[in-house]
């Protein structure tokens, strides 16, 4: 038995979360979905600044070089 807090989520939990999010998105109109996508595309989910694509150990990742909200100054997200 591993530590569930650190291990991967269980398949049942993932299915429950997926179903919940699908219900959420079904309530949105096409216009609302497009608006949300336009607002959040390549934006940091923690601080909202534009993300930069970098290569880390051979893998392309989206990196935030902004500051976390509430940290003055602090490490980047």
Binding site for Zn ion (CB under 5 A): 44, 46-47, 64, 66, 77
Looking at the Cβ atoms of 45 and 58, the one nearer to Zn ion is: 45
Question: Cα–Cα distance between 53 and 64 in angstroms, integer?
Answer: 9
| 77 within 8 A of 66, measured Cβ to Cβ | yes
Nearer to Zn ion, 20 or 39 (CB): 39
User: For Zn ion, which is the closer residue by CB, 17 or 46?
Assistant: 46
44 C-beta neighbours (distance < 10 Å), count:
21
Residue 47 Cβ vs Zn ion, minimum distance, rounded to whole Å = 3
């Amino acid at each position: 038995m591993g530590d569930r807090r650190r291990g991967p989520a269980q398949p049942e939990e993932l299915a429950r979360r997926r179903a919940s999010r699908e219900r959420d998105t079904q309530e949105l109109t096409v216009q609302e979905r497009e608006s949300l996508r336009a607002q959040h595309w390549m934006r940091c989910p923690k601080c909202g600044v534009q993300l930069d694509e970098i290569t880390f150990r051979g893998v392309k990742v989206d990196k935030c070089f902004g500051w976390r909200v509430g940290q003055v100054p602090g490490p980047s997200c």
